[in-house]
Chains A and B, each alone.
Chain A
């Protein structure tokens, strides 16, 4: 059954702790993305990667870090430097079709992080 998995669905952490959110895809997609969504708002891009061992900062990368050691995996670490980390985090992937247009993104179910 192909798709994107994110775990856990809900995550609680104490302030000052780093936390890593997992994202795995078996769609053989080249590109992967991390977004943050706050209540009643749109999605803001944190980081994205189009190839293994390479990634780029999005609009709100401060306080976050990522790695892309395998094509299937794109974990996101929320560091203690992130001032307001409580949010809904969404991972997505897309094929790079080479058509010159934006590629359809397929989203995982998300992780709701609450920092106490």
Chain B
């Protein structure tokens, strides 16, 4: 499957601060999905990006797919305690299975 590097591995922010996680690949990706896993829970689908340079927003979350389709990012504006969890990027492979990045674990301090 497609290999991706996700950074940072951990991020602690004060509530109200912004947060960004990055997903980088050495090869061109056909598409990429983002998932969120709350502590003790299971991954939940957030969004899929397909087009070069695509930007999608969900309330305070902004997802971007790079022009070269080799990187993607998730930005959260004004974090809240409900944003706590691990965020994974996951590009899909030729057989349509996903390869999950190592994740960014977000802690929001009240």
**B interface list, Cβ under 8 A from A:** 1, 6, 9, 30-31, 33, 41-45, 48, 50, 88, 90-93, 95-103, 105
A residues touching B (Cβ–Cβ < 8 Å)?
Answer: 31, 33, 35, 40-45, 48, 50, 56, 58-59, 90, 92, 96, 100-110
Other than the given A40-B105, A45-B98, A102-B90, 19 more pairs (CB < 8 A) read A33-B97, A35-B100, A40-B9, A41-B102, A42-B101, A42-B103, A43-B43, A43-B100, A45-B1, A45-B97, A48-B97, A50-B96, A56-B95, A59-B1, A100-B30, A101-B31, A102-B92, A102-B96, A105-B45
**With A102-B48, A104-B45 as contacts: A43 and B31 at CB distance below 8 Å:** no
Give Cα A73–Cα B63 distance, bound, in whole angstroms. 34
Contact of A101 among B6, B45, B92, B95 (CB under 8 A): B92
- Kindly provide the distance from the CB of A64 to the nearest chain B CB, expressed in whole angstroms: 16
* Residues in B neighbouring A106, C-beta threshold 8 A: 45
Q: Are A102 and B42 in contact (CB under 8 A)?
A: no
B residues in contact with A42, CB < 8 Å:
6, 88, 100-103
Whether A102 and B45, one on each chain, are in contact in the complex, defined by CB atoms closer than 8 angstroms, is no
How many angstroms from the CA of A92 to the CA of B90 in the assembled complex?
14
Residue contact A107 to B91, C-beta cutoff 8 Å: no
